[in-house]
Amino acid sequence: MPSSPESGGFRSVPSPGGAVALLFLAAVLFLMGAFPLNALLGEPGLVLSQLLFLALPAVLYVVVRGHDLSRTFSLRLPSRRHLLGGLLLFLGGTPLAWFLAWLQSLVAPVPVEYLEAMAEMLTADSVSRFLWLLFMAAAIPALCEEVLFRGTLLSGLRNGLPTAVAVVLSGIIFGLFHVSPETGFRILPTAWLGILLAWVVVASGSLPLAILLHFLNNGAILALMALPLTREMVSGTDDAPPLLLVVGAFVALIMGVRLLRKPSPDTLSVPRDEVHLREG
């Protein structure tokens, strides 16, 4: 007999509706709270706003609703094979994100002044400044965004949708979350990276692996921004990536997929009773 929502079964992870409602609440809290905290505290306010309005609501929702923390947030360390597969996946996926950004720039104008301002803010002129940027713009977003998007949201969507649909939908939502009047040009590459991160969690059953890859992606951008020779390449989207780089990216991507793929990814990070309920 199917389990009721209150007796286990689907209750072990969030429902799709609950996960989307939580995301909407977190987005509203972030929009309303991030600017005052930034105005009051400066850059530390950006760190605090992500912790308070993205990660904390996601964790509190799971705890208050009585969901399984381990299953919802895929709390297990990746195997060495999954770690290598994830690294290869992102080694290939990042140049393809660059390619998508270039394609989008052909139809959507890129705000040059915004890019220059961001490049100036994220450029480190000392080791201490670089370490702070690494914490503020790489570590904290990786932790908070993964907990919300590839934790609560993805597990909730997978609870009611086919895995492939949940992965793509969570990535699109991730891209839309980062859209503003100045950042609309980022929607395609951000959604693409969101899809890759969601698939990493599905294939490996490890949110910590997605957090690590997210951190490495952001950290690599900061490192490239710190070097005069590569700063223009990172901050600009006028030129397409070299064809040889795109081909190499596809090869790395395929190798990463092969290492990460498992026989039955739908059973990973989803309770057995929920899988049986779906099949029944």
Please determine, for residue 46, whether its predicted confidence score (pLDDT) is greater than 60: yes
Average pLDDT over residues 85-98: 92
CB contact at 8 A, 187 and 136: no
For the chain, give the mean pLDDT. 84
Q: Does residue 226 lie within any of the structural domains?
A: yes
Residue 58 lies in a domain: no
The per-residue pLDDT for 244 is: 87
In a domain, residue 202? The reply is yes
Cβ atoms of 199 and 208 within 8 Å: the answer is no
CA-nearest of 132, 121, 257, 133 to 199 is 257
Query: What range does the domain containing 219 cover?
Result: 73-279
Residue 237, pLDDT score: 56
Q: Tell me whether residue 44 is in a domain.
A: no
In a domain, residue 38? The reply is: no
Helix axes 163-177, 187-204, angle to 10 degrees: 140
Mean pLDDT of 130-159: 96
Q: Decide if pLDDT at 146 tops 80.
A: yes
Evaluate whether residue 6 is within a structural domain: no
In tens, the pLDDT along 199-248 reads: 999 999 999 999 999 999 999 888 887 776 666 665 555 667 788 888 99
Number of domains in the chain: 1
> CB pairs under 8 A, 24+ apart, for 131-134?
132/43, 133/222, 134/219, 134/222
- The stretches of the chain forming alpha helices (DSSP H) are 16-41, 43-50, 56-65, 69-72, 80-105, 112-121, 127-134, 140-145, 154-158, 163-177, 187-204, 207-226, 228-235, 243-260, 272-279
Residues 6+ apart with CB under 8 A from 228: none
Position 262 scores a pLDDT of 59
Percent of the chain surpassing pLDDT 90: 60
* Two tokens, residue 209: 């692996």
Q: What is the C-alpha to C-alpha distance for residues 231 and 246, in angstroms, rounded to an integer?
A: 20
pLDDT at 163 over 70: yes
Closest among 91, 89, 73 to 81, alpha carbons compared: 89
Residue 62 is assigned to a structural domain of this protein: no
Any idea what DSSP says for residue 42? Answer: S
pLDDT at residue number 184: 64
| pLDDT at res. 198 | 97
Nearest one of 189, 167, 191, 163 to 177, comparing CA atoms: 191
Between CA 101 and CA 107, with CA 105 as vertex, the angle to 5 degrees is 130
DSSP string for 179-237: --TTTGGGHHHHHHHHHHHHHHHHHH--HHHHHHHHHHHHHHHHHHHHSHHHHHHHH--
Task: Please report whether residue 153 resides in a domain.
Answer: yes
pLDDT for residue 16: 95
